[in-house]
Amino acid sequence: MSIVTLEVVVPSQFPANRVFKAFSDFDIIAPKVNPQVFKSIETVEGNGDVGTIKIFTFGDGVPFKSAKYKVDSLDANNHSYSYSFIEGDNLMGVLDSISYHVNVVPSDKGCVFKQTVKYNCKSDEKLPEEFLKKEKELYENTYKAIEDYAAAHPETY
């Protein structure tokens, strides 16, 4: 078994609490700003806290149909949370799970969105570099789209 790690770092002009609030509403915002990737995200168990289970239905822009996701940790005071995809065709038959840790860190000019993604492979097989490059672009583009949405809705974010 091997683990492939991907780091995503995106600076933001907005304060950490505002960015974290927008990402806390990911399941509402993502299908609005990136429907080609996220058709819908539905909570099937829990209330958003640790242990909550969500079902992602993917859009036509990705080669996956659906996935099950679980909230592993949540620390709103420190603007961090962790979650894992535990089932679904996004695991491509070669992954046991995909684990994410998000931390929004305050900075002098706003904040920095940091996301660590760990692809937990079933074997020692590595994921192709081209796949990882596309994944990183997807994460960065989704972040920017959610940030733009939050900026356009200051009454909420």
Count CA atoms closer than 13 A to 87's CA, side-chain side: 5
Please indicate, yes or no, if residue 7 is contained in any of the structural domains. yes
pLDDT tens, residue by residue, 81-113? 999 999 999 999 999 999 999 999 999 999 999
Q: Residue 38 is part of which domain span? A: 2-152
Please tell me the predicted confidence (pLDDT) of residue 84.
98
Domain total for the chain? 1
Please indicate, yes or no, if residue 85 is contained in any of the structural domains. yes
Instruction: Indicate if the pLDDT at residue 67 is higher than 90.
Output: yes
pLDDT tens, residue by residue, 8-55? 999 999 999 999 999 999 999 999 999 999 999 999 999 999 999 999
Please tell me the predicted confidence (pLDDT) of residue 125.
80
For 123-147, give one letter per residue: b (16+ CB within 10 A) or e.
eeeebeeeebeebeeebeebbebbb
Q: Which of left, alpha, beta for 100 (phi over 0: left; psi -120 to 50: alpha)?
A: beta
pTM over 0.75: yes
Please indicate, yes or no, if residue 116 is contained in any of the structural domains. yes
Please indicate, yes or no, if residue 88 is contained in any of the structural domains. yes
Please tell me the predicted confidence (pLDDT) of residue 126.
83
DSSP letter at 128 equals: P
Please indicate, yes or no, if residue 56 is contained in any of the structural domains. yes
The average pLDDT across 145-154 equals 94
Please indicate, yes or no, if residue 76 is contained in any of the structural domains. yes
Please indicate, yes or no, if residue 157 is contained in any of the structural domains. no
Q: What is the CATH number of the domain that holds 25?
A: 3.30.530.20
What residue type is assigned to position 43 of the chain?
Answer: T
